[in-house]
Amino acid sequence: MGKIIIVYASLTGNTEEMAELIAEGVRSAGAVADLKMVEDCNAVRLLEYDACLLGAYTWGDGELPDEFADFVDEMKELNLAGIRAAVFGSGDTSYRLYCAAVDELEQRLREFGAVIVQPPLKVEYGPSPEEKVLCREFGASFAHSLGALHRP
């Protein structure tokens, strides 16, 4: 079904937990999922996979985490046309812009040519038991959407 890279930034472990659950969902659908912390990954790695999932917590008043700055700069130099992608992350509804980093990543992916295949997944703080199920479903749905796109 394909190889999917999941690149994420996590400060408190909430987005990391989401990434791990999403990877479980991807794998349950028969695809390969490689998890990478953004600080340990160069954006050029996206081109080695059939698709990518990016995850981030929202920092301050809606900014991307600093860990994603270099990665996004590197993405500008890539041809992501046709790369299938989706975005996820954690946030806090007490801030004016809830999960704005997720929206920023999705906008950047679109700007650089990626095809967003499903709506983003946003969770307040860490995933609740119900949201853990949603994370797994998010990953499985993403993997299944790739299979549908690969059919003749």
For residue range 31-42, list pLDDT tens digits in order: 999 999 999 999
Q: What is the arithmetic mean of pLDDT over 58-68?
A: 88
Would the pLDDT of 148 be above 60?
Answer: no
pLDDT top residue among 148 and 89? 89
Closest CA to 136 of 51, 49, 48, 33: 33
Q: In whole numbers, what is the pLDDT of the chain averaged over residues?
A: 93
| Residue 26 CB partners (closer than 8 Å, separation 6+) | 4, 6, 32, 33, 53, 139, 140, 142, 143
Q: How confident is the model at residue 150 (pLDDT cuts 50, 70, 90)?
A: very low
Q: Confidence class of residue 1 from pLDDT cuts 50, 70 and 90?
A: low
The residue-averaged pLDDT of 111-130 equals 96
Q: How far apart are CA 72 and CA 150, in angstroms?
A: 27
The pTM of this model reads 0.95
Instruction: Report d(CA 108, CA 4) in Å as an integer.
Output: 19
